[in-house]
Amino acid sequence: MKDLIILLLFVSAVSCTSKDSGKVQRIDIETVKADVIGKDVQWVDVRTPQEYEAGHIDDAINIDISDSQNFKEKVEKLNKNEPVYIYCQKGGRSERAATLLKDMGFESIFDYSGGYGEWSQQ
């Protein structure tokens, strides 16, 4: 009986761990400058197309999080095994996008929480 309880606890722990396989890290502006700008990375602006056209950070592609179906379809084309860097205006939408990416199986997600608002002030 004791062995059965230990086995059930082990299975429970493993199944909970597998749901949390993706990792989200918040990054700052200095990390963006060092690790993203000019590098061959998946760099996504999750703001609206209008916001993107008004100004965006170098080399970012626009995948609007406010259109969730379109967001999921476009994000599926990214490489889930490579890091993906995201930002929005202030950090709220990118946090939501990070959660979706994690749920979709992306392994490494970097959320620039300062967003375009901070970037455009420099």
Task: Give pLDDT tens digits for 61-115.
Answer: 999 999 999 999 999 999 999 999 999 999 999 999 999 999 999 999 999 989 9
With a cut of 90, say whether residue 28 has pLDDT above it: yes
Q: Residue 122 and residue 117: Cα distance in Å, rounded?
A: 9
Mean pLDDT of 40-52: 98
Report the pLDDT averaged over residues 33-53: 97
| Catalytic, out of 75, 88, 101, 109 | 88
How far apart CA 2 and CA 101 sit, in angstroms, is: 39
Measured CA to CA in angstroms, residue 86 lies from 6, 11, 12, 17, 45 at distances of: 41, 34, 32, 24, 6
Name the percent of the chain lying above pLDDT 90.
Answer: 80
88 is catalytic: yes
What's the predicted TM-score (pTM) here? 0.81
Most confident of 1-5, 9-13, 16-20, 50-54: 50-54
